[in-house]
Structure 1
Amino acid sequence: MTRLVGYTRQLSPDLDPAPDISALTAAGVVRVFVDDQTTDPRKRPALTECLGFLEAGDVLVVPSAAHLSHTVTHFVSTVAALTARGVEFRSLTEPALCTAVDNAVNPAEVVAAEEGLRRRLVSLRTRAGMASAAAAGKRPGRPTVMTPEKVAMAVELRNLDRPITHIARVLGVSANSVQRALAPLPRHPDPAG
């Protein structure tokens, strides 16, 4: 008898896995395995338990391929291992990646779905890296050339009514850098303040 077994993982801290679990349950899944976002994507205990739970004739159902794997290589090797064990794979949002025998799909659709998976995984890793950097107090992007000392000097020169271009030349930076640094600051600080 074919069992539908579900797996999902929390892709980011702000995404609740409850809708994924509901979608899997609505698809007829008898048991859902869930890894939270804090779990290392290479060492997911719920996925390991899920893969051990599956038997020949079962179908592994996921909300999307990104929930199953952290890389396209991992996805391909996991689905190949499942197929070798007689377990089918089904994605609720990517029918081109399903391995059911009756799933006649154009090869171009499979390639497009894998490329979509690759882009989604890159996006998830980028967002996770940016969140990690923000938590560590780092800002993404190119570091500013305006050190606190240069900003203080720029404020002092601006309060002496020097033009932005003059300040930029003195500091050895671009006029745009000076304007960005001075934009949030009042031009003449209130001495009573």
Structure 2
Amino acid sequence: MTRVVGYTRAVASDQDVAADVAALTDAGAEQVFTDDADADPRQRPGLAECLEALHPDDVLVVLSASHLSHALTHFVTTVSYLGERGVGFRSLSEPALCTGGRVDPVEVLRALEALRHRLLSVRTRAGMASAAAAGKRPGRPTVMTPDRVAMALELRNLGRPVTHIARVLGVSANSVQRALASLPRGTDSPG
């Protein structure tokens, strides 16, 4: 007898998996295994327990392949492992990645490429959230040091144009404009 088992994981630290569990249950999952976002993507206890609970002729159902895997290679390895054990795979949002039916190879490749992009986006957002939690800002550091901002402010108060200020400081006019725009108008000092 075919049994449907679900799996999901929180892909962001502030995500609640309750809605995912409900959607998987509505899709026919008798049991749903979960992992939170804090779990190491390579060692998720919920996924390990889920894979162990699956028997031949069972079907693993997920909302999206990105909820199953942290990397494209992990996804392909996991689905191959399921196939070797006689377990089916079904993704509710990517029908081309499901096993057990006729699929167009082009659609499979498109779905895999979309999955790769989604996983990259998830990792990027997680990295940015981690950096923000550590007090770091993403992007290039500004060339406008506090000393340069003070000098730019002094030159602006003397009526010098932005292009002149930029030339004197050795930075772009856009950098000077951004730095001066971030200061309240009429400010005599940057701090």
Maintained 8 Å contact 2:57/2:87:
yes
Counterpart of 1:158 (choices 143, 152, 156) is: 156
Pairwise mapping of residues 26-175 of structure 1 onto structure 2 (< 5 A)? 26-100=26-100, 103-175=101-173
Match of 1:17 in 2: 17
1:8 is paired with a residue whose SS is strand
Pair 109,156 (structure 1): closer, same or farther in 2 beyond 3 Å: same
> Structure 1 counterpart of 2:7, which letter?
Y
Identity %: 69
Looking at structure 2, the residues matched to 158 and 67 of structure 1 have their Cα atoms a distance apart, in angstroms, of 53
1:83 is paired with a residue whose SS is helix
Maintained 8 Å contact 2:153/2:188:
no
Gaps of 5+ in 1: none
Runs of 4+ with >6 A deviation: none
1:5 is paired with a residue whose SS is strand
How far is 1:187 from its partner? Answer: 4.0
1:32 is paired with a residue whose SS is strand
CA RMSD of aligned residues (A): 1.4
1:50 is paired with a residue whose SS is helix
> Structure 1 counterpart of 2:70, which letter?
H
Match of 2:184 in 1: 186
Gaps of 5+ in 2: none
Deviations 1:3-27 (A, max 9, x none): 1110000011233212211110001
Stretch of structure 1 that moved more, 180-189 or 22-31: 180-189
TM-score, with structure 1 as normaliser: 0.93
Looking at structure 2, the residues matched to 158 and 168 of structure 1 have their Cα atoms a distance apart, in angstroms, of 11
How far is 1:43 from its partner? Answer: 0.8
How far is 1:188 from its partner? Answer: 2.7
Looking at structure 1, the residues matched to 188 and 174 of structure 2 have their Cα atoms a distance apart, in angstroms, of 25
Looking at structure 2, the residues matched to 174 and 28 of structure 1 have their Cα atoms a distance apart, in angstroms, of 60
Deviations 1:85-132 (A, max 9, x none): 1111111111111112xx111111111111111111011111111111
> Structure 1 counterpart of 2:171, which letter?
V
1:182 is paired with a residue whose SS is helix
How many pairs does the alignment contain? 189
Looking at structure 1, the residues matched to 15 and 186 of structure 2 have their Cα atoms a distance apart, in angstroms, of 46
1:127 is paired with a residue whose SS is helix
How far is 1:83 from its partner? Answer: 0.7
Deviations 1:58-81 (A, max 9, x none): 111111111111111110111111
